[in-house]
Amino acid sequence: MASNGVIPIKKADCLELTGDISPVEAEQAVRGVPRVNIRFSGFKDGRGFSLAALLRRAGYKGELRAVGPLLHDQVDDLKRMGFDTVEIERRDSPARIRNTGGMNSIYQPDPGAPLNRASAMHQRAVTIRKARAETLAAQTEGASPEEILRVATAEYGGRIAMLSSFGAEAALGLALVADIAPDTPILFMDTGQHFPQTLTYRNRLMEHLGLTNLRTLKPAADQVEAEDPGGDLYLTDGLACCDLRKVRPLAAALDSYDALITGRKRYHGGERGQLAAIGFDGERVKINPFAFLSREAVAERYKALDLPRHPLIENGYASIGCWPCTAPAMEPGSREGRWTGQDRKECGIFDPARARRAKRAGAIRLIQTEPRRLGAERIA
């Protein structure tokens, strides 16, 4: 038990502390914990600021998240004290807003007003990162996959990962990474609804390419039990299923990365038709080494490299994801067969509305122009 009767609150993937805990006990409690929430009783509670600074000076490298009825004007100070994220809790009552300082960002006592406007610092950082991504995009327009990946790893080295579904065209991107940046973490979303053939193919492909830095991400068991106990959420709300099984687990693992390598290509069509080699989606930079390749060029590369193909391709599957949202397609190499019967053309991870939904949720990621590298925990 901590001093003054304060007990650190343990959660599934983090530790929650209040300002009453002693520095010595806090340092001991956070050892080996990837994320620490520091709860503020109010916006005037200075103990949380002090505790964050003490933990950083003591060498804590994980994520620090400020939680409570804080003000947007405090974001700069929170960052300076060592926080990575601030989660501003909404107050429903006008009286509580006045008493606790839980006002909206323009100081109008309207409990329905949004609490997600980022500080000027945050907006400047986003603008800088977006401008840099646009510069790199112009530099790599029409470039080869090899050149695009070399530019990206030079710019974001140590803060870049590859996102792979181990689907129909995954082997090409993984082979490129194995050749140019083999230590790159490979993030795989094990949604619990993959085809068995995909899991077998994942293992075979990693071994074939000599890649060893696989990080398998899974949805939180308690969230699955609460939101999809029957495993059939996809029948009524495909986007909610993606949020549960893909978006949230990925978001929890991405704080150490500023850029993600994807296998998206312009010939996939839809919103991918104007894809840049390097782009910024408001949260992270996305690297698309194969954006400019034609379907024929992809096939030629597969043949030249003698890469193993996903076993479901022989059964007519052109694009392969979770089994509830994947069906055979008429055109090889297309996105046909995905989300049949649903009014959508994109995975939840790349859904343009995803960033807007994340912003409305109230968590502001403190994007830095030169981010401090966090101690990443390998996810088994």
In whole angstroms, give the CA distance from residue 199 to residue 55. Answer: 40
Hey, which residues are catalytic here?
Answer: 347
What tokens were used for 370? 């030169």
Parallel/antiparallel/unpaired status of strands 214-217 and 186-189 = parallel
In whole angstroms, give the CA distance from residue 349 to residue 260. Answer: 12
CA–CA distances in Å: residue 328 to residues 17, 193, 198, 315: 50, 17, 15, 7
Residue 23's Cα: distance from chain center in Å? 31
Task: Judge whether 261 and 244 are in contact, CB under 8 Å.
Answer: no
